[in-house]
Amino acid sequence: MSKSLFSIAFGVGTQNRQGNWLEVFYAQPLLNPSAELVAAISPLLNYEGGNQAIAFTAHQAYQLADAVESVDAAQAALLNRLAESQKPLVATLLAEDAAPSSTPEAYLKLHLLSHRLVKPHGLNLTGIFPLLPNVAWTNQGAVDLAELAELQLEARLKGKLLEVFSVDKFPKMTDYVVPAGVRIADTARVRLGAYIGEGTTVMHEGFVNFNAGTQGPGMIEGRVSAGVFVGKGSDLGGGCSTMGTLSGGGNIVISVGEGCLIGANAGIGIPLGDRNIVEAGLYVTAGTKIAVLDDQNALVKVVKGRDLAGQADLLFRRNSQTGAVECKTNKTAIELNEALHAHN
């Protein structure tokens, strides 16, 4: 068996009455763990290779802690804490970055993103949705929807309230990890699996989906859809939108370059290059007809939005007299034509 693994994590989670996993919390997930750590834990877990989620007991947690003490003191300390758990424990070992095949595997990949160990599009998340059960997220944790009504009644009979915050496949990120150096005004608007870079502020109307995020620093007051990554120093204005791969972007990876500004209530369906500005209220998609103007405001060419994807130093605006969408550049007509042809 190869002693080189893609990822390892020891977690504590929630199961329903049938023993099916609802969610898993990994306090210290590891990317590319040491061969010594793998060798120390494999015999105790009867791990023989591949991608596996292996349940273990509190007694085994103590054994694992002893086995890894000399190899990784932090993981040993975590395992000693997990040995005190009243909830089910699981060790998830990924030999390779293959499509997840279980709920613990899916949750590990979401943790790797939110712990900033891997950037969006850096993991194989194929088929993740069926592995994430739709559960009620309550003040008592994750609850199977089939068991919710009974538990609500039990709580009421005891004079208590089982409060349901959301019913969703994804929990909020901050219940699992709070990355260093960030501000999140409304934590319910950032899903587990989001990558929030240091220096990022997510305001109340901001939203960041899974497998999406920010390099930081930056201000997010709009929507960062699934698959979208926002570069360093870029700001998304209030109510603006980025078109994700799940909401019409297709197989085009939508991204925002460095130093960009997307105005309030604006939106993009194309990748933006560095230092782009999109006027407030303007939505630019791949098929939008755009009049490209040179540095003298002379019309050079009419193109589709996709033809300008990824190009730097552009200002997208709507002509308030004609309604035409225009793109202003600091290049001359000759330079601009060369750039357009090179891109095509």
* pLDDT tens, position by position, 83-112: 999 999 999 999 999 999 999 999 999 999
**pLDDT given for residue 335 in this prediction:** 63
pLDDT tens per residue, range 22-66 = 999 999 999 999 999 999 999 999 999 999 999 999 999 999 999
Phi first, then psi, for residue 256 (nearest 5°) are -120, 125
What pLDDT is attached to residue 249? Answer: 45
Q: What is the pLDDT of residue 344?
A: 45
pLDDT digits (tens, 9 = 90+) for 264-304: 999 999 999 999 999 999 999 999 999 999 888 889 899 99
Q: Which of 23, 105, 205, 221 is catalytic?
A: 221
Q: What is the torsional sign of CA 260, 263, 264, 270?
A: negative
Bridge partner list, 316: 278, 327
* CATH fourth-level superfamily of 173-343: Hexapeptide repeat proteins (2.160.10.10)
In CATH, the number for domain 7-131 is 3.30.70.2010
To 10 degrees, the CA torsion angle through 226, 277, 198, 207? -40
The torsion region of residue 265 among left (phi > 0), alpha (psi -120 to 50) and beta comes to left
In this prediction, residue 332 carries a pLDDT of 65
Q: What is the mean pLDDT of residues 142-153?
A: 98
Q: Say if residue 316's pLDDT is above 80.
A: yes
Q: Which residues contact 78 (CB under 8 A, 6 or more apart)?
A: 10, 27, 28
* Catalytic residue status for 221: yes
Q: The whole model's pTM is what? A: 0.92
Spell out the domain ranges in the chain.
7-131, 136-168, 173-343
CATH class of the structural domain 136-168: alpha beta
Mean pLDDT of the chain: 93
DSSP 272-311: B-TT-EE-TT-EE-TT-EEEEE-TTS-EEEEEEGGGGTT-
What pLDDT band is residue 246 in, cutting at 50, 70 and 90? low
Q: Which pLDDT score is estimated for 258?
A: 95
Q: Are 94 and 6 in contact (CB under 8 A)?
A: yes
Please check the confidence at residue 340 and state whether its pLDDT lies above 80: no
Band (157; pLDDT cuts 50, 70, 90): very high
Same fold, 7-131 and 173-343: no
Mean pLDDT is lowest, of 93-107, 168-182, 297-311, 328-342, for 328-342
Task: Express each pLDDT in 202-220 by its tens digit.
Answer: 999 999 999 999 999 999 9
Confidence label for 4 from pLDDT (cuts 50, 70 and 90): confident
Q: Return the pLDDT at 81.
A: 97
Mean pLDDT of 181-204: 97
